[in-house]
Amino acid sequence: MTECIYSIDLTTNSNEILSISSDDFEKLYISNIDENGEEVPYNQKSSKGELVANFFMVKILNDIHNENMFFLERLHNKKDIIKVTLHFTNGREQTFDLAKKRIAIDGIVENKYEHTHYDGEDLCIIISDKNIKFKENLFA
């Protein structure tokens, strides 16, 4: 799926945009699922064509560069992603508003639906309002 994607932008609660080149991620999946895990049509959020997705997963590869470690740690610790934009190689883009449950903890707003873990040196992110069992196995 990623061969037609140039990059992805992850937007946070504070409108910070974190860009990731397609060379630096794999296992990207965005969907809208029901309680049984079946895919259902996306809902359109706005007239701009933004869609609503309640399931997002991506594995961000650690390319062993020191500057990447700070980036991965920031994503692992903050848990504040609310939107993802796909930039395609043909110049088009698609934005997805992700499932979110914002909770302030010690003055920092987190998305309680965001789960992160490391698979070796790589960072895995899942955002969903559904109860996903065996999250780590999705990246195997």
The pLDDT assigned to 68 comes to 67
User: Domain ranges in the chain?
Assistant: 2-62+74-117
DSSP conformation letters of 16-39:
-EEEEEGGGEEEEEEE-B-TTS-B
pTM of the model: 0.89
Q: Please tell me whether residue 131 adopts helix, strand or coil conformation.
A: coil
The tens digit of pLDDT for each residue in 90-117 reads 999 999 999 998 888 777 788 999 999 9
Q: What is the mean pLDDT of the chain?
A: 88
H helical segments located in 1-140: 66-78
Helices (H) and strands (E) in the chain, counts: 1, 12
